[in-house]
Structure 1
């Protein structure tokens, strides 16, 4: 009889213990877990992330209160993007925000269930992230940073009117870059330009490639390619030695010394992605959310490069002038 009472008492205490532990669980368990994966630390992508987080806050989701943001930077390493994505999946994140094509592809390769909001991806269809921009039909949607190459060709015509040959340096293993190069080749013919390509697969190859390329071209086109933008200081050095202007695809490259761009505001692009994330967190079906494009275009010219290249300042009040960082 005593043994039976002892057993019952132990069982009761055990149940109470479980109840107490459950009641004292961490408040973090109730927070929505959001993983942010970014290919590299870079001004345009950093601004994009800031815009995303601000949109979450404006939508009622604040880090440390009702959401827990886990930001991971791959430092330019493709293999690391895969590791980050797999960790996010194993940690049961409620939503993943992927900034750049490699980061987005890694996330999508790792999960077909967790909603993935993307940004700074030039062509989500070619990257095989969505079925179409209008109807993704996958667990992916967000914003793209596509800027018609015609905008950059018009800049070349304005700033470098005597140019005939356009050089382009790009990462041959990045789908995003191949799309831009193919478009450049397609439309350059309409503007009377020929294109000289130089493909690289690592930063170690950039110095040799750009040193050769500047002897063959009149102007350099820099796509939104993480390998190229991370190598921009050496690219700027080599091109300026030969008095070759760089027309870039985004503001960050101009801040590092490229001559000009007609580009997207990456903060606003991130903010738009953040608003979409809020909709997803509130129950919207991401597979039915159209991918959005950046709407705010701006012409940005580097004053220092303009002077160094002895190019006449355009007479246009809409242009934003900046100095090299």
Structure 2
């Protein structure tokens, strides 16, 4: 079994290298080439990728070629893409989107500049130091105020379930922060972890049985099926708090907003140009955090759950239909 996996991994690496080479040969020879590695297909990460490409093209015109690869949630694929980019001398810089992609690239690439976005905890990946070749944007959300607010609106809440993929490094750090926020609000934390998308519906059903509030951190696995999670919470009339900007699917009570993934991608493109032109070093930039964060509440969910928002608290939230 292990031998088969190694063979398949080797074949995948060769195929990625060939595809990358073909993509580069097809493109018109340019002064600079930027490789993009995306963790998985998801509207927020797609927005970051598209904005990064648009900004690169805007600033460098025809002087840049962009090669895009998507790991689709596979660690092995992300590692193979990272190896291909590292070994290709025509790749001048690498933009990584999401923690898995960033971790894979940072583990092997120590010279070319790495510009990351949608990474929850860059410090835990060892990217923040004075000799680093990586810098970028974090999408970490501040959850304390949101959990405190929901508790004040729903005093009967005692137990809070956190739904996440335990193998995602970004989720691990986010869960720690959420645990602290829950504890500071004198609530009980329940961890409901999954290994893949197929387990999420069953895990959500467990969460709504055990808890009074369900919280989803910045987790790529859960994000891909968030609408299904919201449906289960809606059916069981349990509030759902999402710790990143998202569409307000029926069943989501609120999300912690402030991270604009399109802007993060655009900024990644802009930073790439500065690094490629030697105007700055990664250690000059390190981590860029969201300027402001807000709590956005779903009007329909508020009404369904019978929540009354006092006038003095309305200034702390944005209510959307």
Q: TM-score if structure 1 supplies the norm length?
A: 0.81
Provide Cα deviations, 1:20-50, integer angstroms capped at 9, x if missing partner. Answer: xxxxx99833331111111122222222223
Gaps of 5+ in 1: 1-24
Q: Give the distance between the partners of 2:154 and 2:44, measured in 1 at CA.
A: 25
2:179 maps to which residue? 185
Q: Kindly indicate whether residue 34 of structure 2 is the aligned counterpart of residue 38 of structure 1.
A: no
Tell me the SS of whatever aligns to 2:255: strand
Q: Give the distance between the partners of 2:319 and 2:199, measured in 1 at CA.
A: 32
Of 260, 269, 275, which aligns to 1:265? Answer: 260
Provide Cα deviations, 1:201-255, integer angstroms capped at 9, x if missing partner. Answer: 1112212222112111111111000011112122112211211111111122635
Q: Kindly indicate whether residue 154 of structure 2 is the aligned counterpart of residue 160 of structure 1.
A: yes
Q: Kindly indicate whether residue 173 of structure 2 is the aligned counterpart of residue 175 of structure 1.
A: no
1:115 maps to which residue? 113
Q: Give the distance between the partners of 1:142 and 1:277, measured in 2 at CA.
A: 10
Q: Give the distance between the partners of 2:193 and 2:226, measured in 1 at CA.
A: 15
Tell me the SS of whatever aligns to 2:124: coil
Q: Give the distance between the partners of 2:93 and 2:268, measured in 1 at CA.
A: 12
Q: Give the distance between the partners of 1:274 and 1:123, measured in 2 at CA.
A: 20
2:51 maps to which residue? 51
1:207 maps to which residue? 201
Displacement, 1:71? 1.9
1:18 maps to which residue? none
Q: TM-score if structure 2 supplies the norm length?
A: 0.82
RMSD, aligned α-carbons: 2.4
Which range moves more in the overlay, 111-120 or 48-57?
48-57
Q: Give the distance between the partners of 1:220 and 1:194, measured in 2 at CA.
A: 12
2:292 maps to which residue? 296
Q: Give the distance between the partners of 1:195 and 1:73, measured in 2 at CA.
A: 34
Gaps of 5+ in 2: 1-24
Q: Give the distance between the partners of 1:239 and 1:27, measured in 2 at CA.
A: 48
Displacement, 1:289? 2.5
Contact 1:52-1:270 at 8 Å conserved across structures: yes
Change (3 A) 1:81 1:26: closer
2:99 maps to which residue? 101
Q: Give the distance between the partners of 2:27 and 2:49, measured in 1 at CA.
A: 26
Provide Cα deviations, 1:32-86, integer angstroms capped at 9, x if missing partner. Answer: 111111112222222222333344345x223xx1111112222222222122222
Which range moves more in the overlay, 255-264 or 199-208?
255-264
Matches within 5 A, 1:67-146: 67-92=64-89, 93-131=91-129, 135=130, 137-146=131-140
Which range moves more in the overlay, 309-318 or 181-190?
309-318
1:19 maps to which residue? none
Contact 2:233-2:251 at 8 Å conserved across structures: no
Q: How many residues align?
A: 292
Change (3 A) 1:208 1:102: same
